[in-house]
């Protein structure tokens, strides 16, 4: 048979046999294909399926709050927008106004009522950093980790100048610098030690620390609304450690203290027990400390009078690239009582509309600052170039709080409030201080609206501004709605509502120290402003009457780490504005994480430092406390002296 014929026969046979082979593989008619997925279940599996419990429907409001807040949270998205998109939110700045408007719109979108911006003030000028760079150019190039102080003026283009180290240790040393600092870039104080950190930067409260808080007795009286670092710090933290581990002060000046921002001011030192609140600001400063602060004030005035072109401070805390920076200083201005002198009638601030002219001012990280000092001490001639482009905003001198509410039902005329401060400093994005607290408060009311819970009392959220300058926004709100405390410290620091000559921003009438009608209708205010750490309990602010109530409310959250109640006061945040006029105002105890060591008012206060699970826990606890307060038959009890005097 020819080969060609064989090939044709093979092709023909293949075409007819292949369909037969495929059909042979098909299952018989009426039988399903043999597939593991289609095999009938075993008797055991069928029984188990029959016994499977239906999905449990949560009916208890607190269980529902926990489920919504822990499993469907929107908190981190809120926090990211505030920090990553809007960014730093300095009081009076366009960024803060944008944050006001965005939070107002977001709360409205979530279904809250009466969302609006409540004006207070006038505050003063806003400030925005447009451009900045700093480096040594001679004898070699040294790029510097640095940041301008808020409300520092611009340098009018790049400033290139010789560097002078102003190492005056007393007023008598000023003479040798006369005529030598005009037009110079001046290092204003001594180098600061950077020591090894053998303890972790971040920590959680230990059982012993929580027990110490729980065992605390009646707190000493505290001054209303006193500025200062939060009391939420580790009581066992060594205050003498170097670097960012230099904790915020309890017994020394902090970056918020009037006069502490002056060039050459002493570094923070000392640390009191957690939550301790000194009875007087003067008691916080030893005679030696006050003398150092007074010398720092005189040093700045001398440098300004001599015509220094730019002042360079060493960061008082931080290492490894972390620096802490706040507002610029006014030459010669004293913001604290000096022995032998009457206290100033009002603190002069760089944001004031008519603030005096001041030199540009920057803060440099410790390691870089220290190197410049050592080089000069060894005879090197340094030249720096610094470029600061800043814009002041004086078209609207008022500032604004964001306010919104969930209306109540049968007790709708009574109010429960929650909140945190929306403003921040400018070198970071204000994540732990305090987009964290704002996002937790916003998440708390979102949870309540998402669950369509119907509170008896009206729940009102307040997102405050001007906190970093002295609790200005919350103080103004309390003065407008509830009454004003007679507070000489507030007057000294220029709190907008402190002077009797200031007008109430809401109705143009003079402020009064008498309680207003809303005072009797107020139940409580809950605040969060101690960083990214989870809630461990509540500072009761000396109000023993709330202990059994709060103990019951914390019971569902023991497994989440929250169970501690302390009579201790804590300071430095907006609950003081309410507590100061006799209204129940509370700040939660939180784990510090690395708040005072790394992020608080630093260039590292950014979104990446946030602990998401801690924030979700805080939101569900805050939501439950607010809900429980709104549902009680009675308002929360007030302190004995408050009930007797109001």
Q: What's the average model confidence in pLDDT over 157-174?
A: 96
Q: What is the CATH number of the domain that holds 301?
A: 3.50.30.30
Give the count of domains, the chain: 2
Q: How many Cα atoms occupy the beta-carbon half-sphere of 102 within 13 Å?
A: 19
Of 393, 410, 441, the last residue of a domain is 393
Residue after which a domain boundary falls, among 393, 422, 456: 393
pLDDT at 291: 87
Least confident of 157-161, 482-486, 509-513: 509-513
In a domain, 358, yes or no: yes
**Are 492 and 448 within one domain?**
yes
- Look at residue 270 and tell me if it is in a domain: no
In a domain, 164, yes or no: yes
Residue found by looking up tokens 């007679």 in the block: 486
| Residue 243, domain member (yes or no) | no
pLDDT in tens, 379-401: 999 999 999 999 999 999 999 99
* Percent of all residues in the chain with a pLDDT value above 70, rounded to a whole number: 74
The answer to whether residue 60 scores a pLDDT higher than 80 is: yes
Question: Is residue 461 located within the same domain as residue 525?
Answer: yes
The H or E element containing residue 629 is helix 612-631
Please indicate, yes or no, whether residues 418 and 370 belong to a single structural domain of this protein.
Answer: no
The pLDDT score that the predictor gives to residue 219 is 79
Task: Tell me which residue of 406, 445, 402 sits closest to 625, measured CA to CA.
Answer: 445
Highest mean pLDDT among 222-236, 256-270, 334-348, 612-626: 612-626
Quick one: average pLDDT of 104-114?
98
Q: Does residue 344 sit in the same domain as residue 461?
A: no
CA angle 303, 357, 381 (to 5 degrees): 35
Contact 604, 425 (CB under 8 A): no
The Cα 635–Cα 415 span in angstroms is: 9
Long-range contacts of the stretch 53-62 (C-beta < 8 A, 24+) = 61/451, 61/453, 61/624, 61/627, 62/556, 62/624, 62/627, 62/628
Domain membership flag for residue 369 = yes
- Residue 410 is part of a domain; what is its CATH number? 3.40.630.10
Q: Which residue has 């908190």 as its token pair?
A: 75
Same-domain check for residues 365 and 452: no
Residue 406 inside a domain? The answer is yes
Of 215 and 36, the structure prediction assigns the larger pLDDT to 215
Predicted confidence (pLDDT) per residue in 10-47, tens digit:
545 555 544 444 344 444 444 444 444 445 456 665 55
Buried b (16+ CB within 10 A) or exposed e, 143-154: ebbbbbbbbbbb
Half-sphere exposure of 21 (CA within 13 A, CB side): 6
How far apart are alpha carbons 122 and 503 in whole angstroms? Answer: 10
Cβ atoms of 369 and 314 within 8 Å: the answer is yes
Query: Among 363, 393, 423, where does a domain finish?
Result: 393
First-last CA distance in the chain: 122
Question: Between 94-109 and 436-450, two packed helices, what is the crossing angle to 10 degrees?
Answer: 20
Separation between Cα atoms, residue 397 and residue 413, nearest integer Å: 32
Residue 476 three-state SS: helix
**Pairwise CA distance, residues 357 & 368, whole Å:** 28
CA distances from 561 to 66, 204, 210, 626 (A): 14, 11, 11, 19
Is the domain of 169 the same as that of 315? yes
Is residue 571 very low, low, confident or very high in pLDDT (cuts 50, 70, 90)?
A: confident
* Residue 461 domain-assigned (yes or no): yes
pLDDT at 244 over 50: no
How far is 264 from 302, CA to CA, in rounded Å?
Answer: 12
The predicted pLDDT at position 38 comes to: 47
Please give the structure tokens belonging to residue 637: 């009890």
Tokens of 414: 């009574």
Domain that holds residue 184: 127-196+281-393
| Tens of pLDDT, residues 421-470 | 999 999 999 999 999 999 999 999 999 999 999 999 999 999 999 999 99
Is 366 in the same domain as 475?
A: no
Q: Are residues 165 and 81 in the same domain?
A: no
- The reported pLDDT for the residue numbered 268 is 46
Note whether 86 and 167 are same-domain residues.
Answer: no
Q: Where are the alpha helices (DSSP H) in 383-435?
A: none
Give the model's pLDDT for residue 345.
61
> Are the CB atoms for 583 and 638 separated by under 8 Å?
yes
Q: Which of 91, 125, 113, 110 is nearest to 401 (CA)?
A: 91
User: Do 84 and 106 fall into the same domain?
Assistant: yes
521 in the Ramachandran plot: left (φ > 0), alpha (ψ -120 to 50) or beta? alpha
On whether residue 604 sits in a domain, the answer given is yes
- Which element (helix H / strand E) includes 420? strand 411-421
474 and 528 together in one domain: yes
Q: Which of these ranges, 31-35, 179-183, 479-483, has the smallest mean pLDDT? A: 31-35
Q: Rounded distance, CA 439 to CA 590, Å? A: 15
The percent helix, strand, coil of the chain (3-state, each to 5) is 35, 15, 50
**Does residue 404 share a domain with residue 388?**
no
289 pLDDT more than 60: yes
* Cα 204-208-210 angle, rounded to 5 deg: 65
Closest to 302 measured CA to CA, from 383, 359, 372: 359
The Cα 246–Cα 341 span in angstroms is 31
Backbone angles phi, psi at 492, to 5 degrees: -60, -35
């Amino acid at each position: 048979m020819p080969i060609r014929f064989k090939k044709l026969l093979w092709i023909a046979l293949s075409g007819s046999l292949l369909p037969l082979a495929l059909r042979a593989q098909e299952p018989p008619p009426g039988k399903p294909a043999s597939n593991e997925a289609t095999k009938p279940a075993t008797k055991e599996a069928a029984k188990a399926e029959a016994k499977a419990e239906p999905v449990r429907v949560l009916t208890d409001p607190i269980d529902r709050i926990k489920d919504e807040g822990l499993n469907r949270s929107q908190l981190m998205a809120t926090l990211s927008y505030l920090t990553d998109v809007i960014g730093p939110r300095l009081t009076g700045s366009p960024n803060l106004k944008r944050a006001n408007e965005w939070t107002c719109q977001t709360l409205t979108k979530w279904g809250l009522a009466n969302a609006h911006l409540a004006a207070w003030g006038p505050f003063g000028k806003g400030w925005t950093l447009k451009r900045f760079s700093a480096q040594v150019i001679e004898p070699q190039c040294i790029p510097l980790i640095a940041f301008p102080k808020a409300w520092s003026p611009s340098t009018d283009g790049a400033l290139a100048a010789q560097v002078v180290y102003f190492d005056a240790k007393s007023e008598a040393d000023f003479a040798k610098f006369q005529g030598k600092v005009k037009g110079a870039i001046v290092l204003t104080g001594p180098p600061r030690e950077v020591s090894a950190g053998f303890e972790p930067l971040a920590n959680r409260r230990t059982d012993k620390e929580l027990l110490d808080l729980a065992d605390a007795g009646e707190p000493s009286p505290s001054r209303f609304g006193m500025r200062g670092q939060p009391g939420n710090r580790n009581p066992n933290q060594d205050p003498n450690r170097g670097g960012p581990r230099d904790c915020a002060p309890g017994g020394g000046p902090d970056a918020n203290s009037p006069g502490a921002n002056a060039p050459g001011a002493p570094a923070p030192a000392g640390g009191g027990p957690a939550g301790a609140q000194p009875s007087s600001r003067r008691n916080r400063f030893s005679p030696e400390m006050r003398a150092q602060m007074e010398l720092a004030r005189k040093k700045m005035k001398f440098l300004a009078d001599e015509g220094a072109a730019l002042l360079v401070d060493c960061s008082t805390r931080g290492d490894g690239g972390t620096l802490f920076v706040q507002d610029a200083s006014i030459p010669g201005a004293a913001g604290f009582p000096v022995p032998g002198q009457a206290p100033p009638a009002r603190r002069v601030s760089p944001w004031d509309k008519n603030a005096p002219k001041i030199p540009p001012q920057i803060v440099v990280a410790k390691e870089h600052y220290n190197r410049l000092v050592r080089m000069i001490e060894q005879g090197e001639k340094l030249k720096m170039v610094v470029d600061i482009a800043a814009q002041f905003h004086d078209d609207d001198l008022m500032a604004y709080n964001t306010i919104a509410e969930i209306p109540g039902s049968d007790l709708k005329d009574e109010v429960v409030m929650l909140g945190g401060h929306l403003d921040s400093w400018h070198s970071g994005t204000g994540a732990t201080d305090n987009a964290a607290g704002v996002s937790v408060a916003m998440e708390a009311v979102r949870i309540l609206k998402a669950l369509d819970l119907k509170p008896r009392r009206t729940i009102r959220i307040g997102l405050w501004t001007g906190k970093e300058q002295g609790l200005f926004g919350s103080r103004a709100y309390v003065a407008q709605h509830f009454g004003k405390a007679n507070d000489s410290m507030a007057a000294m620091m220029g709190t907008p509502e402190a002077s009797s000559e200031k007008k109430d921003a809401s109705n143009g009438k003079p402020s009064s120290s008498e309680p207003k009608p809303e005072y009797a209708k107020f139940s409580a205010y809950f605040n969060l402003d101690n960083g990214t750490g989870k809630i461990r309990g509540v500072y009761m602010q000396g109000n023993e009457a709330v202990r059994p109530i709060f103990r019951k409310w914390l019971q569902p959250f023991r497994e989440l780490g929250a169970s501690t109640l302390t009579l201790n006061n804590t300071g430095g945040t907006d609950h003081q504005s309410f507590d100061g006029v006799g209204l129940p105002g509370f700040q939660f105890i939180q784990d510090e994480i690395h708040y005072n060591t790394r992020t608080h008012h630093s260039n590292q206060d950014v979104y990446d430092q946030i602990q998401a699970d801690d924030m979700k826990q805080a939101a569900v606890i805050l939501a439950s406390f607010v809900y429980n307060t709104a549902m009680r038959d009675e308002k929360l009890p007030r302190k004995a002296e408050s009930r007797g005097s109001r």
